[in-house]
Amino acid sequence: MEEILEAVWIAEESGTPTRERVRALSHGDWSDSLLAEMVAAGLVELPGDVIRMTDTGRCRSAGLIRRKRLGEVLLDRVLNLKGDKAEAIVCEFEHGVIPEVEKSICVLLGHPTECPHGRRIPPGHCCLNHEVDITQRITCVTDLEIGQKIRIAYVRPSSHDMLHKLLNLGLRPGVVIEIHQKRPTFIVRFEGMEVAMDEEVAAHLHGWRWEP
């Protein structure tokens, strides 16, 4: 039923969710009795050949779509994972993640509004409850100016070696670093040390602007 609910949502994003379109978009089981079960569960109504979500159905569906797209952003930005493997993880994520984890991930990612495919992520309470200001957005270290500080949220690996190289330098999540120089080499200061690296290497570091 969850796969069908998701498919109705996606069909709605680009027009009328007719049975035919929803069926084409759903990658799970499909049968008339399954649809009848969904009607009985109060998730959808079936006026004519359209599948219309009830408020309950819409709420469930928004949660699924939200977790799916947050999962996509997480894999793309933080883990740099793509393809079939990524799709399988996203599917587990959307059907299995508890709300607390969903919220932490949304915060970590800076309350993203779009998935990597440019589709809208339904906002959660965490996105609506407060103004999302600059200190909650995730920025890449290379976008900062000299003297600015950032608290590392994650290291986006381009390779396993690179990830460990940065971690070995002490550049791990939670550390606050200050941009000391940008050219010709990138120099950051943290915990009383100065570390020089190429800009491509620095571009792996993402975090929250730090303004204590």
Q: Which residues bind Zn ion (CB under 5 A)?
A: 72, 91, 106, 111, 115, 117, 119, 124, 126-127
Which letter, b or e, does each residue of 82-117 get, where b requires 16 or more Cβ atoms within 10 Å of its Cβ?
A: eeeebbebbeebbeebeeeebbebbbbbbbbeebee
CB of 21 to Zn ion, least distance (A): 18
Min dist CB 158 to Zn ion, Å, is 22
Angle, CA of 183, 185 and 190, to the nearest 5° = 105
Q: Cβ 114 to Zn ion, closest distance in Å?
A: 8
Q: Using CB atoms within 10 Å of the CB of residue 72, give its burial: 0 to 12 exposed, 13 to 18 middle, 19+ buried.
A: buried
Report how far residue 162's alpha carbon sits from residue 176's, in angstroms, rounded to the nearest whole number.
20
- From the CB of 91, what's the least distance to Zn ion, in Å? 4
Output 25 or 175, the one with its CB closest to Zn ion.
Answer: 25
Q: For residue 208, give the amino acid letter.
A: W
Give the shortest CB-167-to-Zn ion separation in angstroms: 27
Tell me whether residue 28 or residue 170 sits nearer to Zn ion (CB atom). Answer: 28
- Cβ closest to Zn ion, residue 4 vs residue 115: 115
For residue 20, give the amino acid letter: E
Is 92 or 200 the residue whose CB approaches Zn ion more closely?
Answer: 92
- Taking the least distance from each CB to Zn ion, the nearer of 109 and 202 is 109
CB of 124 to Zn ion, least distance (A): 5
CB nearer to Zn ion: give 89 or 126.
126
Q: Say if residues 60 and 8 touch (Cβ distance below 8 Å).
A: no
Distance CA 2, CA 61 (A): 7
Euclidean distance between CA atoms 58 and 95, whole angstroms? 16
